[in-house]
Homo-oligomer: A and B are copies of this chain.
Amino acid sequence: MRYSALMTDLYELTMLAGYFDEEMHDKPAVFDLFFRKAPFQGSYAAFAGLAPALEYLEQLQFTGEDLDYLSSLGLFKPRFLEFLRDFSFRGSVTAPPEGTVVFPTEPLLTVEGSLAEAQFVETALLNIINFQTLVATKAARLTTAAGPDSTVIEFGLRRAQGPDGGLSVARAAAIGGVFGTSNVWGGQVHGIPVKGTHAHSWVMAFEEELQAFRAYAECFPESCLLLVDTYDTLESGMPNAITVARELRERGHEILGVRLDSGDLAYLSREARRMFDEAGFPDAKIVASNELDEHVIHSIRDEGGRVDIYGVGTKLATCHGEGGGALGGVYKLVQFDGKPRMKTTSDISKATLPDRKSVWRVLEKNGDFHLDLITSDGEEPKPGDRVYDPANPVRQKTLPHDAEFESPRRQVMQDGNICVELSTLEQARDRCMDQLQRLPAGSLRLTNPHIYKVSISQKLHQLRDSLVARHEP
């Protein structure tokens, strides 16, 4: 994909012009990208968007047309526009691989470079990481709700934010465990399996439902999935689907299944399952759609629904839900010209964590996640260390004597070039599914989940304290 260098908020450019004027633009700076609250009132997020974010950084360049437009605004001096002509991102990025399960407060991306380059990329990085991480998290919630015996597919293109919005949805949903998409372009660009059959309009274009089903089976004998609710699911749709299933079998094919798109999906799926089983089609699949989200899926399962595949559209593409709609990712200066920086505030839970830092995953003996720990850069945590709650430093904890440590982040870009092999979507999905299983009990609960602990080291706690003290009157 080609990204415009102008895909940014104007203030990134006015600040850049200011730093340039002040001759501060070449001084080294470090920024952290993180979020303060897990979306959907959940406990975690599924990290996604790294590959496109790095692609953006590698491509970043102003075209002659871009510079002409900026010049036309009458805001910028010619000397600055000349500087932009050769501007690119030559810095470094540290990040976890896509599919990593991540938590509030801990740095996701750490971006280092000149103040100019590290500040300028803020808006674009937030745009890409915020949305893809949000979708991957929603997808992980849906996949979890569907359980191990059912799959989720993505149908949201028609409600997405424009064409490319739909493409981002398809990609990030795959990282969160969603198995296929209706979006053909998403299939082409990202290699995701594409899924879909027919709409109500197909049935309405024929005089009779049975005639419509027969025509569809004729055309797609090996992938015949019939939408059965245009007139009446149990009185008309299912009997007609079973008639067609028998006709297909006589010709040596098996029906794929049916889709239910309205009504009481728990009841209808149980009845449809019973009708298929009684008619001798135990392998026919039941697909359900219609305003599904993780809570609806949970209640369908709770009531003994027999759905094999959940098709989720609007509520996945728009990341619907309490505390959803947007991941509140932010991008904060944590070091400038070699010195730690932080935004002080009366609310310590909103203060940033200063300086370059490392993130550690503290593991139990069996590999399960105990807590995450943020330390100063270069600090090596040990079992038995005293650690602090960053939002409430009075709350302290001692790391278990048999704790093991893993570092989920690594340097992924050096001197403006990607310096590792990035995960494929399949690897990212496998990582996400594996890590979700290793969270403490209750962390995956849809409402009021167990909150996974993210702590800071004593050294980082003391650094923050000393900087706060310096700003106090």
Residues of A with Cβ closer than 8 Å to B? 1, 3-4, 6-11, 13-15, 17-19, 21-22, 24, 29, 31, 66, 69-70, 73, 75, 115, 119, 122-124, 126-128, 130-132, 155, 157-169, 182-185, 187-188, 194-202, 204-205, 215-216, 218-220, 223, 230-231, 314-315, 317-320, 325-329, 332-333, 336, 341-344, 471
Question: B6 and A198: CB pair below 8 A?
Answer: no
Question: A196 and B11: CB pair below 8 A?
Answer: yes
**A162: contacting residue among B19, B161, B329, B342, CB under 8 A:** B161
Cβ distance A310 to chain B, nearest Cβ, rounded Å: 16
For this complex, 26 residue pairs linking A to B, each with C-beta atoms less than 8 Å apart, are A3-B163, A8-B157, A9-B155, A9-B196, A10-B187, A10-B196, A11-B197, A14-B196, A15-B201, A21-B219, A22-B219, A69-B184, A69-B188, A127-B157, A127-B166, A132-B162, A159-B326, A161-B165, A161-B168, A162-B168, A164-B165, A200-B343, A201-B332, A204-B333, A315-B325, A320-B326
What residues on B are CB-neighbors of A164 within 8 Å? 161-165
Known contacts A7-B184, A10-B194, A66-B188; 7 additional CB pairs below 8 A are: A6-B185, A6-B188, A8-B183, A73-B194, A127-B166, A161-B168, A320-B325
What residues on B are CB-neighbors of A119 within 8 Å? 201
What residues on B are CB-neighbors of A326 within 8 Å? 159, 314, 317-318, 320
Question: A163 and B198: CB pair below 8 A?
Answer: no
**Taking CB as reference atom, which chain B residue is nearest A124?**
B163
How many copies of this chain does one complex carry?
Answer: 2
Question: A205 and B333: CB pair below 8 A?
Answer: yes
In the assembled complex, the Cα of A1 lies from the Cα of B21 at a distance in Å of 36
Question: A9 and B183: CB pair below 8 A?
Answer: yes
In the assembled complex, the Cα of A168 lies from the Cα of B341 at a distance in Å of 36
What residues on B are CB-neighbors of A6 within 8 Å? 184-185, 187-188
Closest 6 CB pairs of A and B: A10-B196, A161-B161, A161-B165, A164-B164, A11-B196, A126-B158
In the assembled complex, the Cα of A318 lies from the Cα of B39 at a distance in Å of 14
What residues on B are CB-neighbors of A162 within 8 Å? 127-128, 131-132, 161, 164-165, 167-168
In the assembled complex, the Cα of A19 lies from the Cα of B128 at a distance in Å of 39
Cβ distance A224 to chain B, nearest Cβ, rounded Å: 10
What residues on B are CB-neighbors of A157 within 8 Å? 7-9, 123, 127
In the assembled complex, the Cα of A330 lies from the Cα of B31 at a distance in Å of 44
